[in-house]
């Protein structure tokens, strides 16, 4: 399939959605961490998922996952 629209592409949006939906599985692999907020920014050129988490010391941290599809190589 030739991708015509990369801004955002269907693959980028789908992957970002999957990552956000897997928050429980991701959290279970991060010992001593609780996710307190998940933000989905799926309509951006490169969709983002922002995780706000609290560690075992009670400190708040933010992690952002940005999904970028590169142009197809032929």
Q: What is the domain extent for residue 29?
A: 10-66
The answer to the question of residue 58 being in a domain is yes
**How many domains is the chain partitioned into structurally?**
1
pLDDT tens, residue by residue, 30-68: 999 999 999 999 999 999 999 999 999 999 999 999 999
The answer to the question of residue 25 being in a domain is yes
pLDDT at 5 over 90: no
The answer to the question of residue 28 being in a domain is yes
CB within 8 Å of 8: residues ≥ 6 apart: 42, 43, 44, 45, 46, 47, 67
The answer to the question of residue 16 being in a domain is yes
The answer to the question of residue 57 being in a domain is yes
**Cα angle 32, 35, 39; round to 5:** 155
The answer to the question of residue 4 being in a domain is no
**Which pair of tokens denotes residue 71?**
């142009």
């Amino acid at each position: 399939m030739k991708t015509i629209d990369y801004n955002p592409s269907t693959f980028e949006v789908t992957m970002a959605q999957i990552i956000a939906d897997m928050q429980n599985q991701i959290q279970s692999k991060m010992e001593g961490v609780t996710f307190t907020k998940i933000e989905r920014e799926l309509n951006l050129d490169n969709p983002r998922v922002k995780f706000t988490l609290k560690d075992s010391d009670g400190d708040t941290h933010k992690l952002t996952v940005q999904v970028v599809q590169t142009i197809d190589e032929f």
